[in-house]
Structure formats: C-alpha cells, structure tokens
Structure 1
C-alpha cells in the first residue's frame, strides 16, 4: 500500500491534475494507493479572504465567491468532458452550501474560529470530490472517502490535536477492504463532538502522515511543485539544489525554519514509526526528489540546508531587577502560552539581565500588552523595563546533523554575513548543534541566504556584483576585459563576475541578473535618468552580496559618495584620484570606514595606471620596511609629451596628440599644471604614513602665466600656440646640457615636490620612453639600490587592467 499526498499547486489546474492522474495510474498498477489532496492552489486563501469580507459586510465577497465557483466548475468541464452533469450538480450543491455559510457570516457580522474551520474545509472537500470523479470517469477503481470520518480531534479549532487512539482504529478498520485508489481530502477532520476542525495550515501533509503511520506503510510520498527540499529557497537563491537525503531531525529543523515543502508536525507520526518520507515534483516525476529517513549520513556536508522565517518580531525583556531572581522566565513564557503565542526563537544573556525571543509579527500587539500587564508591578518599580519590540525581522538558520563534528561553522557563517553588512540582532544555537540561528533584518534575507549558500554549498565560486560609474574610454575597456575574462575567472579563480549596474553622466541601467555586456551600450541608452544618489539608492535596494562600486570619473561629487558606499559594506575601487588626495582627514576617514565596515577601498590606478606601485609600497610598509625617499616620473601623459616634443614639433601639437590618444585627462590642464602628479606623490606619501595635504606639495610649474590663467580647454590650447617660444627654450636648454626633460615627483624626509627636471644621461629616468612611469623606492632595506617599478603609466587599456586587478583582489580577500 502506498500513501501519496499532492499539494495545492499539484492540483492547481486541469493540466496538473492530469499529471496527478498519470502518476496514480502508474502506482495503482503495482499497488493500492491512498491519495491525499490539498485544496486547489490558492483556494484556501480565497476562502479566508471571502470570510473576512463577509464578516466586515463587504459586498464584494460575492464577486470573490463567483471566482471560486468558476474555478471549480471549469475544472469539472476540463477533467470530465462526457456526462458530467451529475458531478457538476453535486459541485454546485456544495458551492451553494458554501455561499449560504458566507451569507450567514455576512448577516451576523461574525467569523469565529469554529466557523472559519467549516469555511476552509470546502477547499479540500471540493478538490477531492472532483479528482475522485475524474478518476472514476476514466474507469479507475477509485473512491473518495471523507477523512473527517476517520480523523478525530479535540475542539482546538484551526489547529486541532489528533486523538490517535480513535483515529488509528478508524483508519485501520476502513482500509481492511479498499479500492485500488482512495482519494482523501487533506487538512480537515472532526472533533469528538462532531464539529468540523482543521489540522493547521499545511495540514494535508499531516493527514497523509497520519494515514501512513496508522497503516505502517513502507514509505510516505509528498508530491509538490519542487523537486524535494532544497539547500535554500530556490526563489531567492538561484544556485540552490535539491537535497538527496535528510534525517528526520534535519527535515524538521528546515521545515520549522520556513522550508514550505514540508509541514513540521507531518514528520512526527512517521518518525515514531520510522517510515521514510519521499518528496517529489509533480511536474518532474522523473527527478529523484528528497528522501527523509531515520538514518544520519555522516559522510555528507556539515551543513544540510539553509532556511529562513520572515515576518518575525523580536521582543526583549530586560532590567537590573532580573539578575539572580528566579521565576522571570517562567512568568514570561506562561504569559505567552496563555495568549496562545508561539515562541519561535529564544536567547538569554549569561548575566540574566535580558531575555530575548522571537514571535510571529501578527502576535506582537497581543504579546506586548500581555507582558507589560504581567510585569506591571516590576515595571512601576523600575526593576525591569517595558518590553522592547523590534519588527521587520527574519530568522535565518543553518541546519545539519554533522555541524557538531566540524569546527568553525559559526565563524564562517557570521564572517560571511559581516562581510556583506548583514546586521545580526540575536543568535541562538542549541547544544545538539543541529541548528545555528540568527535574527536579521528582513530586507537582508536574500543577500544573507546567497552569501551563506556560496560559502557552504557552491564549489568555492564567489559571485562579485560590480557597479560602474563612468563608462567612457577607460570604462569601455574595462567592460571589454571583463567580458573577455569572465569564463577564465570562473574556471581558474572561482570568481563569478557580473556587472549589475552602470552609469554615465546622463543615464544609468541595472540588471540584477547581470548586464549583457555584448549589448551594454544599447541597454544604457534605454536606462533611467542618472543621479549620484539614485545610483547609490538602487545599489542599496538591490542589496547584493559582494558588491563593488567602481569610480572611473574625475568628479568631486562622485568621490564625495565613497563614504556612503563604505558604510553599506560596499567595496570601493577608485580610478578617480580626488578622494585620496583631498583633505587628509577625509582620506583617513575613508580608510577607517573601510576597516570598520569590512569593505575594501582600493585605488591602485590612482598612481601609475595598471602598475603595482601602491601595492608594492603597501607590501614594503606591511612587512616592516620604512620609506626613506621616493623619486618618480608619475605622469604617463607628461612623459609622452616631453618624449615626443623636440625642435621639429610644436608643443601644442604634441599635447593635442596626447589628448587624442587618451594619455591625458579630458582637460589636459590637469596633467600639464602638475596638479595630477602632485596628487599622486601626495597619495604615495600618505600611504607611507605621512600626514600631508595637497597644499604641502611644492609645485614648480613649467607653464606660462597665460597658460595657467586660461579659462577653457580651447583657450588653453590657444595660449600654447602663442607661447611656443617658451617651450622651445625649455627644450634647447636641456639639449645643450645633454639632458632629457622629465616631470619628476620627489618625496624625502617628509617633504614632497613636483616639477620639470633636466635629467642627465645615465640617470634611470633618462631613457624613459613613451608613456612609461617609473618609481624608485629608497628604504631601510633598499638604501643604495632602490626598488624600481617601471612600465606603461597611462592609457585606457592599462588603466582598465589596473581596475580589473583591484576587482580580483576584492574577490580573493
């Protein structure tokens, strides 16, 4: 004999019911089958809504009733196409009884728990009748039996307790002789006094388990719309996968903490009888599903699954008067029990100063009033505080039989949550170590589940969610590099890199699943109006794990936003030099925020584009070396200009060429004024541990007064033409001394300067070609022969590669 239960989605349409019938046909060819069915998908909620409307004398309950009626009559027409008149008449009679009940609720303006149970029972009574008649119409040896005739309970309406002695006897007597297929309505029952009762939401599972245990069958099968119990909610975690095997205890923990596939009390009757439960998918019957048994598999993962419960409220009772005084906990939980409030989560500080517990948020008002009344005397004496209530919370839980045998599970869990700015309000772990629970904000659930699933279930693949502001020359190259290397990163570095958002000065575009980088320009053109605050708000709203904000602008306003990103534990990668060369207090604040919120703040491309200059400096400092001095050519654009400027070229044309080839900022005055180089040496000085500001850098400009006072880029180029003789003079003076012109940055004994220098032959800077940069670090370990970093220091491609390297660094942290 087989006991099979089909859920609401499995019987939610004629198409799905036909799939149910096909499964029953296969099974009944080999064995006798007890088929327990839920109400048609969504009907129970509609019935409750209908009752609420009628109670509130809202006439629209009639419209909703008509929808319920239409759903069921359509099912009859679709499932029984020939000679369905009698079936249809019977269904209409049942529906008329339902309408009469609703009319009565409307007239007396009251909906008791007893009436509510009678109301919702129509869902299962109708679905089971229609399915049984569909089977009979197709010549199956089938019959419908009302489970209210078998399952006897007390009168605790909406969640009745089963009298197993009477119920088991009824079931065993009835099933001595049976048809090949017996269809039973789940969820519903009757009290010993004959009143209709229900077994609680999800009670159809319970009905099936009661049948299975009473008849001691080999296995209970629960068919639903997913292929078993998953490692996490697949609607929130796309990488979630079915769990092949679970123990009863694991299944109960997961179902208690929100796994909707299994109703918690279901497990108990079959657990006592040691009957396995198989969870299968009606729409994919070939899938293996999840097998739940009494056997603990010691070879599997330490964590079996991750689950969550939403709509939780956290209540805290605290006060100095609680310390060392017995009886507070007893009084507190007795008060909640009297109000029939279920406590989902409990934790208490060892100081006994506070007790914290979680309940469903629908019970908050009742609980708050009851507790404050129960402890009114102590509150009046200020021995304890009025109960503190926090709402908008959820519980997430790691579940697994083997967690107690693996060290560091809690550490990995809370580390992953902390890195993603998931604030933990409370923690609980039982001595059995089968469950580690944490209360978090409900808005963080999706991010938390994905972060934990990545740590405990995925093949060491870390997902990075990238948001780019500034998709000009460098940004375009970065996107191309990401698209080219995504497969390599996933295969070799286990990094799944997605660009989720991008923005230019006009528009911004987001796609939570990752932007199609082959068509990013067209997507961006179709995006919404861009604002800096709007871009930040959208990233916060998406609330994705391992988020990275990349600034590829030269904007003061964008740089000012870094602090807000870091406070949300969003990593910041900056090509923009403004933040790190701004006031020292702001620079230090950003570094502090990075440490405080565990969000990397990386800006390698601030100095030397893709060259590892800042990384090399940090490695020297972190390994205990001291910087004595720094000498550097840090402007690839200026080096390009002076390497290509000679007596046969004009300074104006060379600068224009540098801009056209992408070696200067859009405004070349930033490069030629020396401000850009001053910012770079300032950043290196700060990273060396010195508190300097930009005004502390001595900047000896080679430009004329007219160049410096120009008020536009075009005006600047006009002054270059007029002052050509000045630049030719600079060149001739250097040639006469057999020197090369290089724009040099120096830092020595806490003093920094930048300016044009005549570099003699034999100096490391002399043969620096093209757009190359060079940095010489003199340190305690390198006092005579400096540590040198040299290479291309300008250009969109190498700058993009530097940004890419910082992204990978964030991914590998």
Structure 2
C-alpha cells in the first residue's frame, strides 16, 4: 500500500483538486492507496479567525463564515456535475450549520476552550475530504471516504493531542487492509479520544496523519505532495539559487523541518522512521520533477552540509548571576518552570563558568516566560544573587544541517567567518555533540542576508555575488557600468564573481532594484527614479542589507567622501576614485583605515593615483613584504602631462587646457589640476600609504599659474584668465625649450617631505619622453636603491579610471 498526502495549497481550489485527482489516477498500478488531504488552502486560518471574532462578539464573524461556505460551495459547483451536486451540497450545508451553531455559542459565551477550538477547526478537513472523495468517484476512481477520527485515537490534550499508537495502529491496519476500494480518502489533522471527542494533532498535523497511517500498515512509501519540488538547500523564496535535495536522511529531514523547512511537519518522520518507510516529497504542480527522497542511508560521498534553515520570531531568555555558579539544580528549576507553563525551548547555550544560561523560545511566549521565571527565582533575585531574567526579542535562528558535518573540520569556522564578513552579529551559538546541526541566533533583519551568504559559501560553485551601490554616473561612471556589462559573463565563468548593480545615483535621481538594474537601459531606470539624497541613499543601502555590499563612488565630491565612515561601520566595502577622503586630514584618513580593519571590510582607492595603473597596490605589496620607501619621484597628473605635451608654439595654453577638459582628462574644474592641488593629493596619498604621517599643509606647492587664475571664482572665469596671461605661459615654454628641456609637473617625496611643481626635465631624464596623458612613478626603496622600481602608463581618462575601479571591485570579490 502507498500513502499519499496532499497539503492545503494542493487542494486550495477546484483547479488544484483536479491535479490531485490526475496524480492519484496515475498511481493506478497500486492495488490500494490511502489519500490524506488537508483543508482547502487558508480555511483553517479562516475558521480560527471567525472563532476569534465570535468570541469578541463581533458580528462580522458571520461574514467570514459566509466566505467559508462560499468557498466550499463554489468548489463543489466547479468539480461535480450539476446532476450530482444536490446530495453533496446538502451534506456540506449540514456540516456548515453545525459550525454556525458552534460560532453562535462562542458569540453568546464570549470565550472558547481548546476542546471547542479543536471541534471547530476539524471542519476544514472534514469538508475538504468529503468533497474530494465525491469528486474522485465522479471522475472514475474507485474511492471511498473514511473519517480519520474513527482510526486515530488520542488523549484529551486538545490542540495538540498525543496519539495512542497501540490502539491507532490496530485500527488503521485492520481497516485499511480490509478496505474494499482502491482509494481511501481520509481527512488529515483530525483524530478523537476513545470517548469520541474530536481532537487535533497540531498545525501541520495532516503530514502526521499520513505518517501514522503509513507506519501502521507498513506502507511501501509515504508521498507528501506540496507546492514545492522537495526539501531545498534553503528557502527558495529567500535564496533564489536554492536547489532541491535529491536524497536526505531521516535525521537530516527532522533537523531541517524543526528549523523552518515548512514542507515537512517535524513529527512526521517518527512513525515511519522505525520501519524505514521512505518519504517522498513531491510537487503537485510539477509532478514529473524528482522531488526529495527521505531514506535511511549513508551519504558519505555527498556534501557535508545538506541544508540551511531558519526559525523566525525567536526571543532569547537569559538567566545570570554569581549565585548560579557551582549551585546544583538551577538548570533543573529553570526548565521545570518553563515546562509547567508549556513553553518549548528551541535552543540552549550555557557558558562553562555556569554564570548564565541562555535559552531560545518562541517570541509570543516571552511575557509568560519572563513572569514565570522571575517568580520562581524571586528569592535569589531579592538577594541580588541572580538578576531578573533578561529578554531579547526580534531574533531568528539559522542552522546548518548535515549528517556528515561531524567528519569535516572547520565548518563552524567557515559559517561564523562568512557571517562576520557581512556584519551579521551572532547573539548565541548551539551545537550538539552529534554535530548534525550548528545553530546561531541572529537579528531577524539579517536573516535574508545570512541565508544567502551561507548558501553561497556552502552550496554554490564558490561563485561570490557582489552587490554594487554606485553613485556618480558621469564619464567615469558610465564607462564603469559599460565595462561591467561587457565582462559580466567572463567574471562569472572564469573568476566565479557575480556582479550585480543594485543602485545608481547622480546628483538629481537615485534608483534601487534588489534584483539588479539592467545595464543595457540603466539610463531610463535612473531617469524614472526618486529624488537623490546622500542620507537617503545610505539608509536604503543599509536597509537592503545585502551580502557582499560595495559602495562605489565615481564622483569628486567632498560631501560624498564624508559619508564613507558610515558605510564602513556597516561592513559595506568602499571603492572610490574620489581622492578627497584619502587626502583629507590625517585623523580622518586613519579613521577610515581603522574602520576598514575593525569591520574586516575593504576600503580601496587604487584610482586615486594613476587612474588604472597599479601604483597603490604595488606600494602596498612593497610595504607588506618589509621594504621601506625612501624617495618617490613621479609625474602623477595625466591631465597636466597631456597639457604640457601638447602646448607648443602652435597651440596656445588656453586651447590645450580646454581640449583636456573636453576629452575628460581633467577634473570638472581644471583649476584643481593646474593649481597642483590634485597632484599634491596624490603624493600625499602615496606618502601615507608608505607609512608616513603627513597632511596637505606639509606639502610645498610651487605654483606656475598667475595669482589671478588661482583666484578665479568660476570655471569660465578661470579660462578667461588663461587667455589674459597667454604671454606668461609662452615664456615658461620658451625658457624650457632654450635649455633643450621639456615641461613636466613633478611630485617628489623624500626624507619625509613632499613638494609639487612644474620642472624643466632634461633629455637624459626618465620623465623626458613621457607622452600623451601617461603617468610615471619611481620608487626608491631599500631593495630598489640605484635603479628605482618604475611604473608607467596611461594615468588619466574615463576608460582607464573605470578599469581601475573595476580592478578594485575584483579585489573586493577576492577578499
């Protein structure tokens, strides 16, 4: 015999019930089948809601009762031919009239007992099983209905009755073995006492009903039909990459079901475990999919972690105090108090010092638990030996589950380090001696992030997803997005990086899409976004709470740079081409570096010096390997190099600077470049990264611009001064040409001091032949004393700057 159980979503409406009938009909090779069904989807909740309204003497309970009636009558009309409907409708209305009488009683009394509640909610399964059995008959199946209350006998613990297995097994065995029909339809969830009073097996009890019957008749298999294709490695509604588990052990299934895997009610496994009856979880709406097979097998060759699950709405109850240390019986008293209040403990952790005991309980029971525990330990509390119980709410439990976890070292370390890198704070940890389950209590707002990042760590092909929040989509930002779009497939296949742009912002608009913004039409999405706000942008980034989040700043804005500390404090990586933060006062620079270290999150600004050239990265590697920097000589401004390489007798200075601005080699305000401020920032950053404490005012800046140009209040006025002082610039050029030299704007750091200024470079100098917008850096170190380490290449332009930002993003992915 085979036992099939169909849940509420599988029998939610007439259309779904037809799918159930097709599945049962396809099992026609079975001589006999028991088909256990739940109430129509959502009806049990409606029955309880109606009862609550009636108890409160709210007459709107009649409306919800009418809705329940309409649901069932509509289902009959859609399933049963009109010629056969009369008797079925009459029987259903008889049940509904009884239900109405019960609700009228609740309305008059203004209270409800567990016994009455069981009686009321039983109607959901009684009605659905009757309608479904009648539909099976008219659809040509050899079917009959049997009331589960006649077979499954329990004690009088109404609400979650305990099964009398000896009597129940006998009833089920003799009835079903002697059944004359091929298909026996039974209502799930319901049972009765020996005296015939209706009881229920707890929410999810239809699974339990099916398992009880399967165990009693030694079924060949127990099939649980639901709305998903088996047990998943994680909740597929939260983790899009989750996949169905083909095979799993009974113990693993119980662990996952206890920790939130809703496709299986936890007690289900027990009745079939001893007899090793396989449980097959399948999808009513995709019946040809394999599903999950739960069996008693050893899966040594498979992954050590089978699934990741979670339990929400958890509270931590902590009892602590010096009066607990070395005192026998404290734990016993605590658990007895909770047991007497019928409060279930879902997690236990205790420090070896015995100073505190921490328990995880259902958040709905915190008030009752707090009162009971404080009352039980009132004497010790009055003597200040034990503190009043501490309650923390708004928590969830996440758990790694797998039979083979015990034989693999370092799993808990991987779990906790992965959570830590994503700023998921762990409030409590529990791990059994069997090592089949490692549980951690976290803030409920972090659950989605935690599940995704753990699934990525343990189940995906080490593909790391980076979620980018990008501000600044001008020349550099636009090129950056284009490069990501172009290389997305390559990064996923070759570097195992899945880069997703979640947010974009310019000075006017910002747009967020947690599923990822399309990089083929991001301009349109951004144009339709909401009004931009730096604080609003940060708050949204924080509220998204996505794993591996990266804030990317493509601006040159000081206000944006001033927000970096907020991102770093929330374990959000910062990648920027904006030099202002790293060149700000030394205390702020140190703060940002310290935050990055303390929160174990990257703060990368390679493009601050040399655009896409690996200057800072090379410098970091030199320092990390024990080398020391003595002198740095560099041409660090691609824009200035472009200007002085193109400025000659045939091109006036104003036009060359204008061309550099148009081609994107200068800052939006070219005065920043030509005044030497930009180069000063760069040498400052290199000096700091070399380990020196230095600020902008310590750098000697030798200007070549006239004072009028330096004082120009706007960009147009600045360009006008360049025309006015054309002779001044020509004289500078001619003086260098007469000496056979070329003009280069050079930054120097030596003996702890730095300076920037325009220099006449002779023909035998490494800087002489520097062309176009190229940069060059010479590092003189302990290892490179006579022949410096030289880095040379394009040091300006949107494309190369974007590629430098891209390189930093890849570094974040490798972190």
The 3-state SS of whatever aligns with 1:21 is helix
Q: Distance in 1 between matches of 2:618 and 2:29?
A: 74
- Which residue of 2 is the match for residue 37 of structure 1? 37
- Contact persistence 1:7–1:38 (CA under 8 A): yes
Q: Deviations over 1:441-486 (max 9, x none)?
A: 0110010000010011111111111110000000000000000000
Tell me whether 1:790 sits opposite 2:792 in the alignment: yes
Distance between the aligned counterparts of 1:325 and 1:128, measured in 2? 56
Counterparts of 1:227 and 1:48 in 2: how far apart (Å)? 29
Distance in structure 2 (CA, Å) of the matches to 1:369 and 1:625? 64
**2:652 is the counterpart of 1:622:** no
Q: Which residue of 2 aligns with 1:130?
A: 131
8 Å CA contact 1:400, 1:435 repeated in 2: yes
Shift in Å, 1:557: 1.0
Query: Counterparts of 1:684-723 in structure 2 under 5 Å?
Result: 684-723=686-725
Q: State the 1:173 CA deviation.
A: 2.0
In structure 2, which of residues 467, 472, 494 is the aligned counterpart of residue 470 of structure 1? 472
CA displacement at 1:58 relative to structure 2: 1.7
Once the two structures are TM-superposed, the CA of residue 639 in structure 1 deviates from its matched residue by 0.4
The residue number in structure 1 matching 2:602 is 600
Determine if contact 1:152/1:163 at 8 Å carries over to the other structure. yes
Residue of structure 1 equivalent to 2:15: 15
- TM-superposed CA distance for 1:50, in Å, is 1.1
CA distance in 2, matches of 1:102, 1:136: 32
- 1:533, distance to aligned residue in structure 2 (A): 1.0
- The structure 2 residue matched to 1:683, chosen from 682, 685, 690, is 685
Cα deviation, residue 668, structure 1: 0.5
Deviation at 1:27, TM superposition (A): 1.2
- In the alignment, structure 1 residue 197 sits paired with structure 2 residue 209: no
- The reply to whether residue 581 of structure 1 matches residue 575 of structure 2 is no
Contact persistence 2:177–2:217 (CA under 8 A): no
What stretches of structure 1 of length at least 5 have no aligned partner? none
Q: Deviations over 1:230-274 (max 9, x none)?
A: 000000000000001111100000000000010111110100221
Residues 208 and 268 in structure 2, CA contact (< 8 A), matched pair in contact too: yes
1:399-438 deviations in Å (ceiling 9; x for gaps):
0000011111011111110111100000010110000000
1:440 correspondence with 2:447: no
Equivalent in the alignment of 1:27: 27
SS at match of 1:59: coil
* Residue 76 of structure 1: aligned partner: 76
Partner of 1:119: 120
Q: Please point out which of 727, 736, 739 is paired with 2:738.
A: 736
Work out the number of aligned pairs and report it.
813
Contact kept, 8 Å, 1:28 with 1:181, in 2: the verdict is no
Deviation, 1:81, is 2.5
Aligned-pair distance for 1:296? 2.1
Among 528, 534, 537, the residue aligned to 2:536: 534
**How far apart, CA to CA, are the structure 2 residues paired with 1:17 and 1:539?**
44
2:52 paired with 1:52: yes
- Contact 1:227 / 1:290 at 8 angstroms: preserved in 2? yes
Cα shift at 1:29: 4.1
Q: Is the 8 A contact 1:464 1:811 kept in 2?
A: yes
Could you tell me which residue of structure 2 aligns to residue 673 of structure 1?
675
2:546 paired residue among 537, 544, 547: 544
Alignment correspondent of 2:379: 377
Distance, in Å, in 1 between the alignment partners of 2:764 and 2:356 is 74
- Matched with 1:501 is 503
Task: Give the secondary-structure state (helix, strand or coil) at the position aligned to 1:278.
Answer: strand
Within 5 Å, give how 1:352-367 maps onto structure 2. 352-367=354-369
2-side partners of 1:8 and 1:96: how far apart?
23
- SS of corresponding position for 1:496: strand
Aligned with residue 462 of structure 2, among 457, 460, 465? 460
What is the TM-score when the length of structure 1 is the normalising length?
Answer: 0.99
Which stretches in structure 2 are left out of the alignment for 5+ residues? none
Show the counterpart of 2:729.
727
1:246–1:296: 8 Å Cα contact kept in structure 2?
Answer: no
Q: Secondary structure at the match of 1:581?
A: coil
Does residue 488 of structure 2 align to residue 486 of structure 1? Answer: yes
Cα distance in structure 2, aligned partners of 1:192 and 1:744: 97
Work out which of the residue numbers 740, 755, 766 in structure 1 matches 2:757.
755
Residue 350 (1) aligns with residue 352 (2): yes
CA RMSD of aligned residues (A): 0.8
SS at match of 2:168: helix
Please show how residues 200-599 of structure 1 align to structure 2 within 5 Å. Answer: 200-599=202-601
Say whether the 8 Å CA contact 2:469–2:551 is kept in structure 1.
yes
Quick check: 176-185 or 615-624, which moved more? 176-185
Contact 2:314 2:362 in 1 (8 A): yes
Could you list the runs of 4 or more consecutive aligned residues of structure 1 that deviate by over 4 angstroms after TM superposition?
Answer: none
Residues 543-597 of structure 1: per-residue CA shift (max 9 Å, x gap): 1111110001111111111011011111000110000000101000000100111
TM-score of the superposed pair, with normalisation by structure 2: 0.99
Please give the alpha-carbon distance, in whole angstroms, between the structure 2 residues aligned to 1:141 and 1:519.
58
Aligned-pair distance for 1:59? 1.8
Asked if 1:169 is matched to 2:164, the reply is no
